[in-house]
Amino acid sequence: MKNSDKTWLEVSAADLRANATGLKRVAGSAALMAVVKSNAYGHGTATVVKALAKQADWFAVDSVKEADEVRAAGAKQPVLVLGYTLRDLMPHAVSRGYSLTIYHGESVAALAKIATPKRPAKVHLKIETGTSRQGARPEDLESLVRNIRRAKNIVIEGVSTHFANIEDTTDHSYAARQLSRFILTLRKLEGLGVRPEVVHTACSAAAILFPDTHFNAVRSGIAIYGLWPSGETKVSARALDRDLELRPALTWKTVVAQVKPLPKGTPVSYGLTEKVERDSRVAVLPVGYWDGLDRKLSSVGYALVRGRRAKILGRVCMNMCVIDVTDIPNVQVEDEVVLLGRQGRETITAEEIAKKIGTINYEVVTRINPTLPRRLVA
């Protein structure tokens, strides 16, 4: 097949499945809820859903629109909307059978007008235990449950919470306190006669490190894609002798658009921020910050050409950048270039890029332009 794209992403089905299999082994009897929000962390929703058709027990998304994308990709598994659902979208969500995360009475009141005995609303109660984001305070839980019961046709299918400080540290005392609060909440719910079918607290880091957080479902996002939640999580996993290998599934590619010589001292790109320090050969790449190649990679980032590293020269532009190929023989127009991933023996990781631009690997992959094609490869 002829290549019609100047830049594209390749997503390895084998790597996604291997990661899911490893996470299911770590999770034991708990169901695997694959988190595919934000365009599957930049990997492409449809691409990932199709690859994990047999591994995922659930899919989790941020919005009703994303839930529709999961269904459109052919998923038969239940879909949980983790984020806030607008009232205007609730009728559609209920009609499609999506499970919705709720944590206040306003959502209950809106669902009560929609749900019927034939089409009940399935909800997961989100409990605030210390992240200070969305979630019902434990002291408000009794009132919330009372409102749900009064409404009828609303089924409390699940209950969850989210950890605030389990990835960025090797001191997990705060997470332990959150877990204790959540367990107390479960007891309170049981006292109210509520025994949800699905109980889930574990993000990727918790799923890997702490079996006590598994309950009967784990929500794995970043690890599904072969990326460690943090360096600290990786260190902790090794210390605990966790049997888990994560294989990055994404490779971001482009091509060489032009090769030309530049005499020593020639400035490169906008602002004349960098000059070549010797007689050089440079390659122009048809990719820039519109595509998701962060502008902070100007003069510090790299690309891979013919299995070798080539430094980005000067500023990354909206649709182009320039790399130094002086020491790489025989670079030709339309040679394949890797911006993220492996080529030959060299690899550019999301963690390497994140360190250069002052962020985390999550942001590196999710900010790749969603309009770029994602190709599922073996």
Residues noted as catalytic: 37, 270
Run of H or E residues at 214: none
Report helix, strand or coil for 335: coil
Residue type, position 181, single letter: R
- Rounded Cα–Cα distance for residues 92 and 71 (Å): 13
Q: Which residues pair with 134 in a beta bridge?
A: none
Q: What are phi and psi of 211, to 5 degrees?
A: -55, -30
Q: Check: CB of residue 59 under 8 Å from CB of residue 32.
A: no
Residue 27, classed as helix, strand or coil, is helix
Residue with tokens 């909800």: 123
Residues β-bridged to residue 275: 267
The pair of structure tokens assigned to 103 is 């944590």
What is residue 364's three-state secondary structure?
helix
Residues 6+ apart with CB under 8 A from 317: 269, 270, 288, 289
CA distance 252 to 11: 9
| Long-range CB contact pairs, 142-146, < 8 A, 24+ | 142/188, 142/192, 143/105, 144/103, 144/104, 144/105, 144/108, 145/189, 145/192, 145/194
229 φ, ψ to 5°?
-55, -30
Q: Which of 353, 370, 371 is nearest to 362 (CA)?
A: 353
Phi, psi of 326 (to 5 degrees): -55, -40
**What is d(CA 176, CA 235) in angstroms, rounded to the nearest whole number?**
18
∠47-53-59 over CA atoms, to 5°? 80
